[in-house]
């Protein structure tokens, strides 16, 4: 299988707004619970890596207050809006130096799983933390097929599974790792972080929900590659109709949130 190292999802695509809205509605509540004090405090300096639509960056800006600072970076930051305590940078975390620091908090969501250099990037982020600072990495675990909970018929369930497996194949062809989420905890420990902990979240997505709309949106974003992989336009249309059908439901992927702290500097007496 050939590998295309370009990032899979283009922030300039017509579907990116729908993609970001669907992700934020599902993931922002989970992320907010993981970024409570002592991770984020008034006056802190934070780096939001791969900020996307900016919902987490805005949350952090509110949390750190006027005395704090949030640096929000993205390969294409066109969807981000600066605030008095937020600066926006066009930035490639794979190759560019850190945009300042040290940071009391660094957060990246659904980013490193797409990067073949993910382990090197994680170590880079760890090195940019202030002593006592926190790193939070959040990813989907796509290592097992999604479970169909209800479907109008067996053929619909099989179609959903076939299209989702093809989407994952396209992501892998771009260098994504479907099971990276399972290894983040270990990678943080090996990088020297302490107080590492992981939580997971999954829920049912019925037809017509923002969650299943994400799969439909991804099928549009990746349509040329899905067709090249052997799916037909008829199958893709039927798949999109299925994700809007209230008689269909599937589990979401496991969303894995892992955080760890850089040890504070201990000075001798």
- Look up the CATH number of the domain holding residue 53: 3.40.50.150
Look at residue 56 and tell me if it is in a domain: yes
Q: Using the predicted structure, report yes or no on whether residue 266 has a pLDDT greater than 60.
A: no
85-143 tens-digit pLDDT: 999 999 999 999 999 999 999 999 999 999 999 999 999 999 999 999 999 999 999 99
Query: Mean pLDDT across the stretch 79-90?
Result: 95
Structural domain contains residue 269: no
Task: Report the distance separating Cα 138 and Cα 125, nearest Å.
Answer: 14
Residue 1 belongs to some domain of the structure:
no
Question: How far, in Å, CA of 76 to CA of 6, rounded?
Answer: 13
Does 154 fall in a domain?
yes
pLDDT score, position 2: 35
The segment with the largest mean pLDDT, out of 20-29, 77-86, 148-157, is 148-157
Query: Is residue 5 assigned to a domain?
Result: no
Peptide bond into 102 cis (omega under 30): yes
Structural domain count, the chain: 1
Question: What is d(CA 92, CA 227) in angstroms, rounded to the nearest whole number?
Answer: 30
- The C-alpha atoms of residue 208 and residue 212 are separated, in whole angstroms, by 7
pLDDT digits (tens, 9 = 90+) for 211-224: 999 999 999 999 99
Query: Do 129 and 108 meet the contact criterion of CB atoms below 8 Å apart?
Result: no
Residue 138, domain extent: 16-261
Provide the pLDDT confidence category of residue 3 given band limits of 50, 70 and 90. very low
């Amino acid at each position: 299988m050939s590998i295309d190292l370009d990032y899979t999802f283009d922030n300039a695509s017509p579907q990116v707004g729908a993609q970001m809205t669907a992700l934020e509605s599902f993931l922002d509540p989970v992320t907010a619970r993981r970024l409570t004090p002592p991770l984020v405090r008034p006056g802190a300096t934070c780096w939001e890596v791969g900020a996307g639509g900016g919902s987490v960056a805005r949350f952090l800006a509110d949390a750190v207050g006027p005395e704090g600072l949030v640096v929000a970076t993205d390969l294409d930051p066109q969807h981000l809006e600066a605030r008095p305590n937020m600066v926006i940078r066009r930035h490639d975390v794979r190759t560019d130096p850190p945009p300042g620091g040290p940071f009391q908090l660094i957060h990246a969501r659904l980013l490193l799983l797409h990067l073949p250099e993910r382990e090197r990037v994680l170590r880079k982020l760890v090195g940019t933390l202030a002593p006592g600072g926190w790193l939070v990495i959040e990813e989907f675990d796509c290592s097992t097929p999604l479970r169909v909970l209800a479907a109008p018929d067996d053929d619909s369930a099989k179609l959903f599974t076939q299209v989702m497996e093809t989407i994952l194949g396209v992501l892998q062809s771009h260098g994504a790792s479907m099971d990276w989420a399972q290894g983040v905890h270990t990678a943080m420990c090996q990088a020297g972080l302490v107080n590492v902990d992981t939580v997971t979240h999954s829920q049912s997505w019925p037809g017509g929900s923002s969650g299943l709309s994400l799969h439909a949106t991804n099928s549009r974003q990746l349509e040329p590659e899905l067709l090249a992989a052997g799916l037909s336009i008829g199958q893709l249309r039927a798949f999109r109709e299925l994700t809007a059908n209230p008689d269909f439901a599937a589990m979401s992927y496991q969303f894995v949130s892992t955080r760890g702290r850089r040890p504070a500097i201990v000075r001798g007496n």
